[in-house]
């Protein structure tokens, strides 16, 4: 996936779970005078703060963030919708003469901006809801069989995206009469591509696993169990799109009495590590060829300097001048 453009209009920082994207993005944003656009498919949900490691309110008060708390956990939020929303946020940030800084680990969100996907075909809402309810009740093996039968070309990609993307592959094929792979190949793009300079945080697997274990413990201490309980008491069903995220589904089992907390947390660690490995694989092979790589084990100050140096070289300006303008702009 490559974008042949002379000058980046957007800076993007990507990396797997627990690679330190949030801390680095805050440090870079302050120096560049940037506003942050979250590229996290779970942080879009209102009320899901602790389990998604959403940036705290003090930081959001200091540095504008976009893409957080966009929808309720009962709603689906696709990569196509993100791309449409993000183009608007980027346009507004530029109008304020600030730098749009995309940050996150959801690779499909970034790809939808760099290589716009098709606008989703119209499908009757009640049919979608009924089909989704049916598909949620299927065992994974049965859902996989549906995907393979209806859209074999897309099957491996759908599996990589988990139950939600697998379900969508089935929905589009059945309700639009065309395979999702056909729509991607032949339908007009939903918007113009965004020009970006991409920075990928690289982290050894052992260190990534250690940070994930620490993060899970911190989430529990911060009140993850209480957060999930509050969502359920608000009437958010456990099968809602947002609640299928790792961490939330495990705590639901605890609150239902189906599992003890210690074993649920071990499941959470294991599933988060598995997800992070998938992120690593995607990010190493699907990003533009000119993606810059920064070692996430470096001190934060060194990481920030590296990102700003690459950005200044890309836009043809002195790094010190860029930082001075960012702090005063």
- Distances from the Cα of 33 to the Cα of 58, 60, 99, 154, 199, angstroms: 17, 14, 6, 41, 18
- CATH 3.40.50.300 in the chain, residues? 10-117+189-328
Is the pTM higher than 0.85? The answer reads no
Answer yes or no: is pLDDT of 14 > 60: yes
Average pLDDT, the chain: 89
In terms of DSSP H, where are the helices of 17-78?
Answer: 21-32, 57-62
Percent of the chain with pLDDT over 70: 91
H helix and E strand count, the chain:
15, 6
User: What is the Cα–Cα distance from 4 to 196, expressed in whole angstroms?
Assistant: 10
The confidence score (pLDDT) of residue 3 equals 36
In this prediction, residue 7 has a pLDDT band, given cuts at 50, 70 and 90, of very low
Instruction: Say which residues have a Cβ less than 8 Å from residue 57's Cβ, sequence separation at least 6.
Output: none
Q: Within the chain, which residue ranges are assigned CATH 1.10.20?
A: 125-186
What is the structure's pLDDT at 34?
A: 95
Task: Using the predicted structure, report yes or no on whether residue 25 has a pLDDT greater than 90.
Answer: yes
Which pLDDT score is estimated for 296? 97
**Separation of alpha carbons 224 and 268, rounded Å:** 12
pLDDT score of 5: 35
Tell which wins on pLDDT, 219 or 326: 219
CATH code: domain 125-186 is 1.10.20
CATH superfamily, region 10-117+189-328: P-loop containing nucleotide triphosphate hydrolases (3.40.50.300)
According to DSSP, the residues that pair with 14 across neighbouring strands are: 104, 200
Question: Residue 122's pLDDT band (boundaries 50, 70, 90)?
Answer: confident
pLDDT-derived band at 126, boundaries 50, 70, 90: confident
């Amino acid at each position: 996936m490559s974008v042949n453009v002379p000058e980046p209009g957007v800076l993007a920082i990507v990396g797997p779970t627990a690679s330190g994207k949030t801390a680095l993005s805050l440090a870079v944003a302050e120096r560049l005078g940037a506003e942050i656009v979250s590229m996290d498919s779970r942080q879009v949900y209102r009320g899901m703060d602790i389990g998604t490691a959403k940036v705290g309110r003090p930081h959001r008060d200091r540095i504008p963030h976009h893409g957080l708390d966009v929808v309720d956990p009962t709603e689906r939020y696709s990569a196509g919708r993100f791309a449409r929303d993000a183009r608007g946020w980027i346009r507004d940030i530029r109008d304020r003469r600030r730098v749009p800084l995309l940050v996150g680990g959801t690779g499909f969100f970034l790809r939808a901006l760099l290589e716009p996907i098709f606008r989703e075909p119209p499908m009757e809402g009640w049919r979608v809801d009924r089909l989704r309810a049916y598909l949620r009740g299927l065992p994974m093996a049965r859902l996989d069989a549906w995907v393979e039968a209806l859209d074999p070309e897309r099957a491996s990609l759908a599996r990589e995206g988990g139950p939600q993307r697998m379900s969508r592959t089935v929905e589009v094929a059945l309700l639009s009469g065309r395979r999702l792979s056909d729509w991607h190949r032949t339908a007009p793009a939903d918007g113009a591509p965004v020009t970006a300079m991409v920075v990928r945080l690289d982290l050894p697997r052992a260190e990534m696993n250690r940070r994930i274990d620490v993060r899970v413990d911190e989430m529990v201490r911060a009140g993850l169990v209480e957060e999930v309980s509050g969502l359920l008491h608000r009437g958010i069903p456990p099968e809602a799109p947002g609640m299928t995220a790792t961490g939330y589904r495990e705590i639901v089992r605890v609150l239902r009495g189906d599992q003890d907390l210690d074993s649920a947390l071990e499941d959470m660690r294991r599933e988060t590590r598995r997800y992070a490995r998938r992120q690593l694989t995607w990010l190493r092979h699907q990003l533009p060829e000119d993606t810059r790589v920064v070692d996430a084990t470096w001190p934060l100050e060194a990481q920030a300097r590296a990102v700003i140096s690459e950005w200044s070289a890309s836009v043809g300006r002195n790094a010190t001048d860029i930082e001075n303008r960012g702090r005063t702009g």
